[in-house]
Chains A and B, each alone.
Chain A
Amino acid sequence: MTDVHGAELAVTVIGPDRTGIVADVAEALARLGANLTDSTMTRLRGHFAMTLICTAQASATEVEAALLPLSADGQLLVTVRDVGADESAHNGGLPYLLSVHGADRLGIVATVTRVVAEAGGNITDLSTRLVGPLYLLVAEVDLPEGVPGELTRRLAQVADELGVEVNLRPAGADVL
């Protein structure tokens, strides 16, 4: 395996889903010697979205230029940015799972995540789905010790205002 400990680059790609998007992007990066590290790639209502970090000797400009042909037909939107080295933002909190579901309306994510932020909670992963009239949010949150009780009360309050159900619970550690 080649040593590719260069600069860290953040790459985003989004466009209408078709076969081969991942292969096209990954090939272009591999040709440049850019090594994919963490990524999420998923389909969001017919759009395919890739967010990834890679380490590369090439600069952001060079990588963007190499990916340019992919966006030439105007279908895929590609961005490349230099990002700092991996400095984990882990705040030493305890892992919790937050589920929110109810009738869709404006501001569910905004209201709920603001309450989490005000409690010092750090969202590490979040997905939402809208299926018919049902809106669903599931988030993984790191919470400082002593916070969950008060946060649960506060979440119940805003859930009531929004007319949704909120459930905050410890993410069970998978210790064997």
Chain B
Amino acid sequence: MSIEGWDITALGAGRVLPVVTAPEPVLSRVGEAVDPTDPQVVALAADLVATMAVSPGCVGLAAPQVGVSVQLFAVNVTDHPKTATLHGAFVLANAVIVEASRWRPGREGCMSVPDLTGDVKRAGRIVVTGELPGSGRKVTITTDAFEARALQHEIDHCNGLLFLDKVNGAHAIYQRKVYL
């Protein structure tokens, strides 16, 4: 499944940026809305894609994770075994979840919290609206399973929330044993 009007190559080549880790305050700030047609936003989108691509196991990266407190993130769950519906590698600006259902727990990690994982309840099916960087085109994405989880995790980042803010219980946090 592809997103109509989306061409990731139009972003151009991005730079690989350093990823910040908690307790960096930028991770807890609500990101500002962006103009998706702003060339700086398009460049940042390319940087997110480039940084995500070189990070082993990384299926999503939000602007606050590279120190920029705005509503922009990249996702790519291609080849992940838990993926059902797949939209490939894409970047969304100003994304909002408009429908969420089929809530279930699952284990999550995060490049910005490298030493811990946690069980977080997420919707197994969501509808998200957002804007494509470059064209600014408004899109509605309906997805499920792992892509839905990744989108919720990244949208949380854009709103200053980490998976730590949503863990299921006092024993739902684990020291990471395997680094990807």
A103 (CB) vs chain B CBs: closest residue? B23
Known contacts: A101-B22, A101-B23, A131-B175. The answer to whether A138 contacts B115 by CB under 8 A is: no
Convert B51-82 into 0s and 1s, putting 1 for each residue whose CB lies closer than 8 angstroms to a CB of A.
Answer: 00000000000000000000000000000000
Chain B residues with CB under 8 A of A132: 21, 115
Check A131–B167 contact: CB distance below 8 A: no
Name the residue among A101, A132, A140, A164 with the largest chain B CB count within 10 angstroms.
A101
Judged by a CB distance under 8 angstroms, whether A107 is at the interface is: no
Known contacts: A127-B173, A129-B173, A165-B28. The answer to whether A134 contacts B21 by CB under 8 A is: yes
Cross-chain contact of A97 among B22, B28, B167 (Cβ < 8 A): B167
Give how many B residues have a beta carbon under 8 Å from the other chain's beta carbons.
22
A172 to B121, CA, bound (A): 9
B interface vs A, CB < 8 Å? 21-23, 28, 103, 113, 115-116, 121, 161-162, 164-173, 175
28 contacts between A and B (CB under 8 A): A97-B167, A97-B168, A99-B166, A101-B22, A101-B162, A101-B164, A101-B165, A102-B22, A103-B23, A125-B169, A125-B170, A127-B170, A129-B173, A129-B175, A133-B23, A134-B23, A136-B164, A136-B173, A138-B164, A138-B167, A138-B169, A138-B170, A140-B169, A165-B28, A165-B165, A167-B165, A167-B166, A172-B121
